[in-house]
Structure 1
Amino acid sequence: MVEPAGQHSIAFEGIGTHWEISTPAALSAALRAGLRERVEAFDGDWSRFRRDSLVGAMARAPGSYRFPAEADALGRLYRRLYDISGGAMTPLVGSSLEQLGYDPAYSLQRRGSASPAPAWDDVLGWSGRSITAKSPVVLDIGAAGKGMLVDLLAAELESAGVQSYCLDASGDLLVRGTEPLAVGLEHPYNRAQAIGVVPVHNQALCASAANRRAWGDGLHHVLDGTTGQPVRTVVATWALANTAMLADALATALFFMPGSTLEKDFDFSWLTVFSDGGAAYSPGFAGTLFT
């Protein structure tokens, strides 16, 4: 992120991600501490890499688990995208990722062939804050979780009276009240280059890319839940929406469905880059692609 002129910023690490928050005035020590505590609490609830998290408990034993209030909106969004994608986008790919080596130990060693995610209704009940595992299940909310946490931190800022800010979670951005921020679109094969630029103002920009968490022989973290295999046809996506949770989720959904299909159900703009070098984008996408 390029910090706007005249801004104060803080930076910290959390959920395996680097965070930067820029505001016109310096944040109080109490608010800075509260933001870090919010990130740690989120990790303690939702991380599949921690044995002491609620998600970790679900992976060991069936039962009903009560999650924080944000679980309601997250579950409804995931179920909607699960149904639209025919099960390709699902929060139940955790076991599939672990099978391919993306496990809590970060072994990056395959345990065998890819395995599809279980069918939602066979193993999972999700109603409001209550999530019921009918058998031990590895929940993975990575497709929307970071964006959801961005929104939660934004709510903390606004409840403290901060109305103008730029919140950056390693490239997933939420910009409110400031001047438009020009953001480079990272080249999917060379992080030192950009393929374009997009202005972000009073909205969120989130990206998903096959090169971000990749290992082994063409393995990466965006799996098709119906096969357990990494998606090969798309290499990078960007989504602009009113909330970071929605932008984050839709950036992943673009790996499974055309943006024109998703536009029937969601208000957002988008860009998709394909593995053959081609690209597609919505008429409302404000970015400029370099030639």
Structure 2
Amino acid sequence: MQHHSGASAATDNPAVGSLRHVASFPEALGTGIVMHTESALDTQVLSDIGTMIEAYEQVLSRFRDDSLVQQMSKAEHGGSFDFPDYLNPLFEIVDLLFAATQGSIDPLVGADLVKLGYGPDQSFHPRPDVRESLGWVHGRARWDEAVTRHGTTLITRQAVQCDFGAVGKGFLVDLLSERCAEHSKHLLIDAGGDLNIRAATPVSIALEDPSDDEDAVGVAEILNGSLCASAPSRRRWTAELEGQGTGKQPDEQHLGHETGLVTLHHLLNAIDGMPVEDVMATWVTSPNPSGTTPLDVHDFGNFPTAVADGLSTALFVCDPDTLSLSFPFECAVIRNDRTALVSRHFPGSLFIR
């Protein structure tokens, strides 16, 4: 099974083979969701899951014109927006990621993505003034200043373009895993490479080479927890900034250089709004609840996929040691020079040095 963000579980893996019942939701979250379960999910459960996915997207999707997030982007003078109560842990994780990265991870980076061409219309054509308007250093609203949160009520004073994608996909996977738990003891849920696994024996996960999606650079084994990956290789586009053409090749250009044709991607540093250039790929594992969470970190054990999802993005802008002060996790990182970092207890290895 190939997964868009850099992880795959071999179909001949015995642990996956024992999860012989498969249900898929190909349109969910833009990447699709595939659920492998030990026991078949009945029609009512599958219907409930479809309803959950629809309701979730209608609240959080920045690509749907009818979503609550889109209403926030159109409220010129701001307003009070009531999100479902079950999203409170998602907002808590977002708050903690914002604080741990000193603002480098910020939901309001959605405005920068739109300016770069990755908006609801997916034009992939940057706006002419993009260089001077990206990031909060150039005046874009900040999460801690433009949004006041009271539980799941968000209060704004201006239009804000939120993107909860760093955490949102993983959070939905956790919700679906909880919904299925009473019907199937063992399962594997895959949302475009965000994996939640509860298996009888460890599942081997191939770690996709960010430079070649037909190859692997490592393998991990997960028995009971989550693995999420991030890489810019799947959401990448080239565009020419007006008045800056040079004729150089796209892979030679970056947005910060005074050149024309540039290569862009969706993993931004929210401070300056720029695509991150020095990291190629990240993988994060997060444990399920165990009762052994260190006292100096927050316990989001009921949402391991949301945590792993958020951290796989945060590792593009923040070092693992800093993030470990706030979250329990293990990770592997490949930098742009093909050097690698693997944490001590990461449940796998990379084939590169």
TM-score under structure 1 length normalisation: 0.96
Identify which of structures 1 and 2 has the higher relative contact order when contacts are C-alpha pairs closer than 8 Å and 6+ apart: 2
Q: 1:15-47, CA deviations, whole angstroms, 9 ceiling, x for partnerless residues? A: 101211111121101111111111111110000
Q: 1:108-158, CA deviations, whole angstroms, 9 ceiling, x for partnerless residues? A: 000032411422233111221111121110110010100000001111112
- Distance change (3 Å), C-alpha of 1:12 and 1:2: farther
Name the counterpart of 2:70: 56
Name the counterpart of 2:336: 275
**1:181 is aligned to 2:226:** no
Name the counterpart of 1:107: 123
Q: How far apart are 1:106 and its partner, in Å?
A: 0.5
**SS of alignment partner, residue 11 of structure 1:** strand
**1:193 is aligned to 2:205:** no
**SS of alignment partner, residue 144 of structure 1:** helix
Aligned pairs, number: 290
**1:140 is aligned to 2:174:** no
Letter in 2 for 1:275: N
Distance 2:91 2:56 in 1: 15
Match 1:205 to one of 216, 219, 227: 227
**SS of alignment partner, residue 165 of structure 2:** coil
Name the counterpart of 1:129: 152
Name the counterpart of 1:265: 326
Name the counterpart of 1:250: 311
Match 1:40 to one of 54, 57, 61: 54
**1:230 is aligned to 2:252:** no
**SS of alignment partner, residue 117 of structure 2:** coil
**1:21 is aligned to 2:35:** yes
Question: 1:259 touches 1:281 (CA, 8 Å); kept in 2?
Answer: no
Question: 1:15 touches 1:40 (CA, 8 Å); kept in 2?
Answer: no
Q: How far apart are 1:161 and its partner, in Å?
A: 3.2
Instruction: Please provide the CA RMSD for this pair.
Output: 1.3
Distance 2:10 2:178 in 1: 22
Task: For structure 1, list consecutive stretches of 5 or more residues without a partner in the other structure.
Answer: none
Name the counterpart of 2:17: 5
Distance 2:168 2:122 in 1: 19
The answer to which of 104-113 and 5-14 deviates more is: 5-14
Distance 2:220 2:144 in 1: 39
Distance 1:121 1:290 in 2: 40
Work out which of the two has the higher radius of gyration on C-alpha atoms and give 1 or 2. Answer: 2
Distance 2:160 2:38 in 1: 44
Question: 1:82 touches 1:89 (CA, 8 Å); kept in 2?
Answer: yes
Distance 1:270 1:2 in 2: 21
Distance 2:310 2:228 in 1: 9
Distance 1:245 1:178 in 2: 23
**1:164 is aligned to 2:183:** no
Q: How far apart are 1:268 and its partner, in Å?
A: 0.7
The answer to which of 239-248 and 17-26 deviates more is: 17-26
Q: How far apart are 1:103 and its partner, in Å?
A: 0.8
Question: 1:165 touches 1:178 (CA, 8 Å); kept in 2?
Answer: no
Distance 2:234 2:147 in 1: 29
Question: 2:283 touches 2:331 (CA, 8 Å); kept in 1?
Answer: yes
Distance 1:104 1:167 in 2: 26
Q: 1:25-74, CA deviations, whole angstroms, 9 ceiling, x for partnerless residues? A: 21101111111111111110000111100001000011111111232111
Distance 1:127 1:235 in 2: 37
Distance 1:32 1:58 in 2: 31
